[in-house]
A and B are shown apart, each in its own frame.
Chain A
Amino acid sequence: MLTLAPVCDADAPIARVNPVAKLFAAFAVSTTALVAADWLTQLLLLGALLATVPFAGIRIGALARRLYWLWLAAGTVVIVNAVFAAEQTGAVLVAIGPITISSGALLDGAEIGLRVCVAATAGVLGFATTDPTDLADALTQQLKAPPRFTIGALAALRLLPLLGAEWRQIAAARRARGLEGGWNPLRRARLFGSTMFTLLVGAIRRAGRLAAAMDARGFDSEIPRTHARRQRMRRADWAVIGAGVLVCAGAIATSAAYGTFTVFA
């Protein structure tokens, strides 16, 4: 199920870090993970990410549930890359009919999967510990993003869960009318299309009403808005950015010192 609730308490250390600082640090780690093409750099980055978890006040169970799908996706990346590798090198591990997996291809696949995994974990640690409202505030106040974009996105986010409930209502109403997909894929597709159409008609009406309500409360006035909630870059926030950059530099330097560092090309 889609959930956007943070995986930590509102007063956990990582939740108090400025969202822009967190996202910058996560961006640095993800970029390094995607650029580097060797095992050592990836493992060092992953180790550093996991090392922050106990100090950050993150609920391990909630984080594991959030990461589950991403790691599953990384697992499929491994398999796909191993099966469809351009050339199978080394010892043959699996040979079932047309499918062959050799040790060389499996290792290459695993390396790509690990890279996806590190980049995704960094992103989740950054985003899943951030309250959307805090993120919008920080984007507006630190990065000077236009409020029409940030507040508009927040308002849309608030309406998102309603769409799920509405979809179930519409689907029940279709069955009541005698419409059902059953096993016929064509009929299923048409039912999906018609349900989606009804959902969109409702969503557009709702968006129009919300926009009118926002404008009625002065959202489209030309005066520069003030901010009820202040987001600041404190020393600790700069330290988070610094730590993110240091971890990346450290991982690359260590890997280079061992002579394993390569760049993905």
Chain B
Amino acid sequence: MIPVEFRGFAWRHAGRRAQAVAGVDLRVEPGERVLLLGPSGSGKSTLLAALAGLLTDDSGDQDGDVLLDGKPAADQRDRVGILFQDPETQLVMARSADDVAFGLENQAVPRDRIWPRVRESLEAVGFPYGLDRPTHALSGGEQQRLALAGVLARRPELILLDEPTANLDPEGARDVRNALRAALADTDATLIVVEHRVAEILDLVDRVVALGPGGALLADGPAAAVLAEHGDALAAQGVWVPGAPLPSRPARAAGDTALRGESLSLTHPGTDRPALDDVSFDLRSGELLAVTGPNGSGKSTLALLAGGLVRPTGGRVTVPGEARPLHKLPARRLATRVGSVFQDPEHQFVTATVRDELAFGPHQAGWPKARIEARVSELLERLHLAHLAAANPHTLSGGEARRLSVAGALAAAPGVLLLDEPTFGQDRRTWGELVDLTADIRDEGTALLAVTHDRDFAAALAGRELVLRGGRIAEEPTRC
């Protein structure tokens, strides 16, 4: 366990004009466990990267000092371990145990001492498989636990966690938190965590530090005291403060059927088990149907089929006024009937500016110019994107990119909108904006289907819920 100190620390990423953080002064005592809170853009991840020694001279300009045990952090990488949020890009090797060994090889640990430490770390995180388990066969939660084992095996004196469960489904996130709890009980390392979802992580920390924009210190103290005193301000900034009230936007009465799926099945070539098996449902205008279920239950497959994006191996999806099933419609026509919003907004961007992105669908559908312009202005205004009209979509923040992807799918005024995990990994403020936006779209008469793990989102908006398990309907749609 080592003390950590920022002294007048500032960092500007190469090629940016503004500083990511400026004038940070913070001391963390040896063995302390700190939760670092702050809105998007307050530089939390930059502070962790600085402690992990990952801010090199050629990646930006630094002012002030980052000290571990009184010495510059950049020279002490061996004493620090960091767990990032994306499990896919933390694993290096094809076999699970090799991946844990990777960090020990880099530390020049002799071979006969590597394997006992690998086994010990895998046990500490509750890794359920053998040493040779292929890393690509692991679920997100299992991969993240393996990455944690890789961090622990190096016996770090300072452990950094950068939103360790943000990319995971609820079960995976719970397993990772349990692994963290068990592992942290066995070590006296200093700990710094960045996490939006405060409630789940609160029992792991004894101090909360809240940052404002640019890394200014807002509050610092014992967790309970900080949350009691600054809870409202933190919630307004996007932190999921436990107990803060959530909005509820119940639907009015639903209208006529806007999209119907009949006996939908999909079996991927080369597999025996269908990804989706004989699923029928109807979707009505003015309602939101939440599709839930564990990972691999066929939720995302259902969204692809309902959007007419993949040809089903059995059954069909239809909308009123089209004789052909959706998957046979030409793409330009499909976009005027059903809009699909994907989990990764960047997958949907096809033009170089926000304005063109919104004009794209209507243009493809052959709308007259004046109507397109009116539609684009309306959407820019409504989704608070007007100040970004000329920006490149790939440069937007997470929340802005999400809003743009919804606006783009809505642009050609389809009667149905399908959303795949719309609130995944969003902070509390963006989440609230998305709930309001979705409710408005629904109340204008659009039929909505949302694939989601997010209980709060479904509770706030859904009229009915369809539960899938193993590719089949586990529970027929009922009123939530």
Query: Residues of A at under 8 Å CB distance from B?
Result: 131-133, 151, 154-155, 157-159, 161-162, 166, 169-170, 172-180, 182, 194, 198, 201-202, 206, 209-210, 212-219, 221, 223-230
Contact = CB atoms under 8 A, between A and B. Distances in A.
B307 interface: yes
Contacts of B360: 177-178
A46 B62 CA distance: 63
A158 B340 contact: no
Interface size class of B (residues with CB under 8 A): 35 or more
Interface of B: 49, 52-54, 77-78, 80-82, 84, 86, 88-95, 98, 101-111, 114-115, 118, 135-136, 147, 150-151, 154, 304, 307-310, 330-332, 334-336, 338-340, 342, 344, 346-350, 360-361, 364-365, 394, 408-409, 412
A204 B94 CA distance: 20
A51 B310 CA distance: 46
A133 B335 contact: no
Contacts of B361: 177-178
Contacts of B54: 212, 215-216
A182 B336 CA distance: 18
A228 B95 CA distance: 12
Given A217-B150, A226-B105, A174 B310 contact: no
Contact of A182 (B53, B78, B82, B330): B330
Contacts of A180: 330-332
Given A158-B135, A218-B107, A224-B108, A169 B342 contact: yes
A119 B338 CA distance: 53
Contacts of B135: 158
Contacts of B344: 169, 202
B347 A216 contact: no
11 contacts: A132-B94, A176-B334, A177-B361, A198-B346, A212-B54, A212-B84, A215-B77, A217-B81, A218-B103, A218-B107, A226-B111
B348 A177 contact: yes
B154 A218 contact: yes
Given A133-B98, A169-B342, A178-B364, A225 B89 contact: no
Contacts, number: 166
Contacts of A170: 347
B340 A154 contact: no
Given A176-B331, A221-B106, 12 more contacts: A159-B88, A161-B136, A172-B307, A198-B347, A201-B346, A214-B102, A215-B77, A217-B102, A217-B154, A225-B108, A226-B104, A226-B114
B164 to A, nearest CB: 13
Nearest to B338: A176
Contacts of A132: 94
A226 B334 contact: no
A177 B98 contact: no
Contacts of A154: 92-94
Contacts of A225: 105-106, 108
A11 B297 CA distance: 35
Given A212-B54, A221-B77, A230-B111, A173 B365 contact: no
Contact of A155 (B92, B110, B332, B364): B92
Contacts of B394: 201
A228 B310 contact: no
B348 A158 contact: no
A221 B78 contact: yes
Contacts of A219: 102, 106
A215 B91 CA distance: 12
Contact of A213 (B89, B330, B346): B89
Nearest to B135: A158
A241 B363 CA distance: 65
The 9 closest A-B CB pairs, nearest first, are: A178-B335, A218-B106, A180-B331, A228-B101, A178-B364, A176-B340, A217-B103, A209-B89, A173-B347
Contacts of A223: 106-108
B309 A176 contact: yes
Contacts of B150: 217
Contacts of A230: 111
B158 to A, nearest CB: 12
A251 B293 CA distance: 63
Nearest to A230: B111
The winner among B94, B101, B105 for most chain A CB atoms within 10 A is B105
Contacts of B338: 176
